[in-house]
Structure 1
Amino acid sequence: MQTELALHHWRFGQVLAERLCAGILRISGYTDIQPQAPLGGPDGKKDILVRRDGKCYIAAAYFPTTVSSFTEIREKYKSDLLGVKANKADGFVFLVNQHLTVGERAKLLALGGPHDEIFNVERMRAALDDPRGYGLRLEFLRIPMSPEEQVAFFNTDQQDRIQRLLRDGLKDEEVAARLPTVARLDSSLIKLLHGAMFENYCLSEGSSDFVVPRVRGGRIRAMQTYVVDAEGEGELLHVGLPPEQLEDALASLFGRWRHAYAEAVGADREVVLRTLAWFHHGFVSIMPFPDGNGRVARLILDQAAFELCRRGVAADLTTDRPAYFAALRAADAGDLNPLVERLRAALIG
């Protein structure tokens, strides 16, 4: 909360805002970071020039000291977006210390190209409250590290060095065996994960004296399952696969996922997003468990996104339920684009 408030009520001026944004981009995987004119003067529609995955990006920082409306943010976004064409860049990164919903972020991203990104206040907070961001948080927001955070900061730095050594020293034939657990998902692992999440989950029914288990953690469902719009008029949103098809469907999905994950490692951001969207849709469509399918799917999605593109996925991916289910229905019909765009807008970290 302290980090979010310090960002949202920014009091340190444009110079430090641009320098903070440059640091956030650095810990978020961007390289060759070049602030253009942080001390004032014309910058040619480019606060910061950065690179990632062989592409050049224009980055713009918008840190108003009071709450801005979405209309004001959109106008600033459109103005700074002109720098992409003016500087022959491949994409645009917009950093703003304001709250933006997934829907609002999607509207802004639709104004530009497929490689554009938005760091809103929540995404920047997540980056600065991560061990890799503690140093920036201390320098620019004057928020000291607790003893526990100091340990995490130095441990993370050490682990990053170890991971680089391992990655650089691996031979091709060793890569598959060293892929993380999410890359090697199968039915047994997904049951273990669900069991760990719902081991003691119960739901009171009828009265406070009668409590029955609603979810048997780690057990594939034996009954037909439906998703109904509880917030509307009870519309049937989705029908899960029949129980007798679940094991085969999961085996097929995870088999394809292991190949797709390996191909997505080091791939372009668009390839990663489509891979994640495809798998997320596939899993929630199967609905292997009597309950908790969405929570398991979001946990896997968040971890896989972090591993493949160093970004987490905000919980508000599914907050707008009508838009989320509309994206899933579009994917049912073979169109992943709406789900990809929601996922792109929900990336944080």
Structure 2
Amino acid sequence: MIALSLCSFRETAVPDQRVSTSVLLAQWEAQSTAAERMSADILRVDGFRGIDPQCPLGGPDGGKDILCAKDGLTFVAACYFPTGDQTFAATRTKFDDDLESSLKHKRDAFIFMTNQKLTPGERADLEQRAAKKGKRCIIYAREHLRVALDSPQGYGVRLQHLRVPMTTEEQAAYFSSSGESVATALAQQTEAIDRLAARVDQCCKGNRDFVMQTVAVLADAVAREGGREDIARMLEESATSLRDQAANDASGAPLSANLSTALLRYVHRLLLPSNLSTAGYWRQTQVFLGSGVDVLESVEFPTWAQVPAMMQSLVNEWNASFPELQSEGTSSAQRIDALARFFHRLLSIHPFVDGNGRLARAVLALQVRDLFGLDYDVVLDRGADYYEALRLADTGDASGLIALITEALDSAVDEPL
């Protein structure tokens, strides 16, 4: 089937004569119905689920073109696909109208999808307008739509809605991505099973005291009745095993040996108690590091959709490395190097809209306590050297951060490391 499909696509592919995806989006001439259908398919490509186009064939939709969900959040999406470039004022007026309509619906966030070209500043302006209404907002402007459609997962959507044929290379990438989607689905199922297992384990621990008492009572009753010493011995061994497990759990491993994304989100909420709408929630928008800090020029962080997986990978890798970092054979320099790289990677992901530096420093303090046996927190100097160290780390050079952490540790212990 794949070979037949490849041949059929190849017959229509004329790479040299193709019009770019950006131009086709800018010159959109189809009706709003087609725009809503393509937008729904793009959201599906980007991992949204439960996609529910409200009135794709036309008619009143109550200000909600598309309903969908992702990462435990619910969204209402609106589409704006005029023909040709419009002024930003016109786009903003349409955005305001759609945003106002979205407030009627009990959804967590608002998505605005448009074929218009928007600068980072214009996107930020629209996001701020939504924030003033108490809504999180995701903007899919022309370039964001192009990226989705010109990706292997989006080639089929592009072919269907824009009639852009695939090149031979794109065909191979498209069919390869289909296999990756199966692997992703399996990974999601495995993650769901792991979460369920963790909840079951938590419930078991919560009821273990009751089970221990019950087993002890049964063992005592069987022993008094006599004649079934084998059962009494088995019950006593079970009770002993449960007591040993409880003792091991009570001794506990260091907290930073078992970091979790849930713990980091909880710490973030504690650090920003007044920001109830964003504290503890992964960011749901694209962010840039602008000119507010002179030494760090404009930097675009990973997309918001990448944050959960990147954070999970970060804590998994840290937890896997912790036993070796804690071992006597690991030097202080090796531990500090691992701390510096974790610190920078966390900041590079930029998982939250605000407070990422505070979170990184709080986690660093916890990690240092556990790895170096301190009773109090280390404090990083956040002056010019701090921002210069981050700039160097962006180039792969962690020496500046290593020096700052070493200095903070030297200030916290009796003898320099």
Q: Per the shorter chain, which TM-score range?
A: 0.5 to 0.7
1:104 matched to 2:122 = yes
Question: How far does residue 98 in structure 1 lie from its aligned partner after superposition?
Answer: 0.8
| Residue 184 of structure 2: aligned partner | 163
Which of 131, 135, 138 does residue 159 from structure 2 map onto? Answer: 138
**Maintained 8 Å contact 1:257/1:279:** no
Query: For 1:237, what is the secondary structure of its paired residue?
Result: coil
**Maintained 8 Å contact 1:131/1:152:** yes
What is the rounded CA distance, in whole Å, between the counterparts of 2:157 and 2:387 in structure 1?
43
Question: How far does residue 292 in structure 1 lie from its aligned partner after superposition?
Answer: 7.6
1:254 matched to 2:338 = no
Which of 51, 61, 85 does residue 33 from structure 1 map onto? Answer: 51
Which letter does structure 1 place at the counterpart of 2:77? A
What is the rounded CA distance, in whole Å, between the counterparts of 1:248 and 1:64 in structure 2?
56
Query: For 2:59, what is the secondary structure of its paired residue?
Result: coil
Which letter does structure 1 place at the counterpart of 2:93? E
CA 1:25–1:85: 2 relative to 1, 3 Å: same
1:64 matched to 2:47 = no
Give percent identity, aligned residues only: 35
Query: For 2:76, what is the secondary structure of its paired residue?
Result: strand
Query: For 1:143, what is the secondary structure of its paired residue?
Result: coil
| Residue 96 of structure 2: aligned partner | 78
**Maintained 8 Å contact 1:60/1:94:** yes
1:237 matched to 2:294 = yes
**Maintained 8 Å contact 1:61/1:95:** yes
Query: For 2:172, what is the secondary structure of its paired residue?
Result: helix
| Superposition pairs of residues 251-330 of structure 1, within 5 angstroms | 251-256=338-343, 271-274=351-354, 285-287=386-388
CA 1:249–1:286: 2 relative to 1, 3 Å: farther
CA 1:247–1:7: 2 relative to 1, 3 Å: farther
Q: TM-score, normalised by structure 1?
A: 0.55
**Maintained 8 Å contact 2:39/2:113:** yes
| Residue 120 of structure 1: aligned partner | 141
Say which is worse superposed, 273-282 or 101-110, in terms of deviation: 273-282
**Maintained 8 Å contact 1:4/1:122:** yes
1:148 matched to 2:235 = no
CA 1:8–1:168: 2 relative to 1, 3 Å: same
What is the rounded CA distance, in whole Å, between the counterparts of 1:156 and 1:87 in structure 2?
35
Query: For 1:21, what is the secondary structure of its paired residue?
Result: helix
**Unaligned residue ranges in structure 1 (runs of 5+):** 177-228, 230-235, 240-245, 265-269, 298-349
**Maintained 8 Å contact 2:153/2:177:** yes
| Residue 327 of structure 1: aligned partner | none
Larger Cα Rg: Structure 1 or Structure 2? Answer: 2
Which letter does structure 2 place at the counterpart of 1:126? V
State the Cα deviation string for residues 231-264 of structure 1 (Å, max 9, x = none).
xxxxx9349xxxxxx9997643323467x59xx9
In terms of fraction of residues, the more strand-rich structure is 1
CA 1:31–1:168: 2 relative to 1, 3 Å: closer
In terms of fraction of residues, the more helix-rich structure is 2
CA 1:127–1:110: 2 relative to 1, 3 Å: same
Query: For 1:86, what is the secondary structure of its paired residue?
Result: coil
CA 1:296–1:38: 2 relative to 1, 3 Å: farther
Question: How far does residue 53 in structure 1 lie from its aligned partner after superposition?
Answer: 2.5
What is the rounded CA distance, in whole Å, between the counterparts of 1:172 and 1:32 in structure 2?
23
Q: TM-score, normalised by structure 2?
A: 0.46
Which letter does structure 2 place at the counterpart of 1:120? A
Question: How far does residue 44 in structure 1 lie from its aligned partner after superposition?
Answer: 0.5
Query: For 2:86, what is the secondary structure of its paired residue?
Result: coil
Q: Which has the higher contact order (CA 8 A, sep 6+)?
A: 1
Question: How far does residue 123 in structure 1 lie from its aligned partner after superposition?
Answer: 0.3
